[in-house]
Amino acid sequence: MVNTLLLAFALMLVIEGLLPFLAPRVWRETFRRVTELTDGQVRFIGLSSMVVGVVLLTVFR
């Protein structure tokens, strides 16, 4: 179980690092836009991400 969690964490870091490595200007602009969102909008994005993640885990498990 711990090995699987570490592999998932490593994959997350690789995926998270792709955009800043490949297109730093786009990554910076995206974060600038995110800072302009309201708290409710940021929470909705976070909730949506969690729901999609849980659905994908359920489907592919």
The domain spans of the chain are: 2-60
Question: pLDDT digit string (tens) for 37-55?
Answer: 999 999 999 999 999 999 9
Give the contacts of 58 (CB within 8 A, at least 6 positions apart): none
Tokens, residue 37: 């969102």
Q: What is the Cα–Cα distance from 47 to 42, expressed in whole angstroms?
A: 9
Residue with tokens 């800072």: 35
pLDDT for residue 1: 85
pTM over the 0.85 mark: no
Q: What is the DSSP secondary structure assignment for residue 1, as one 8-state letter?
A: -
Confidence of residue 18 (pLDDT cuts 50, 70, 90): very high
pLDDT for residue 9: 93
pLDDT for residue 52: 95
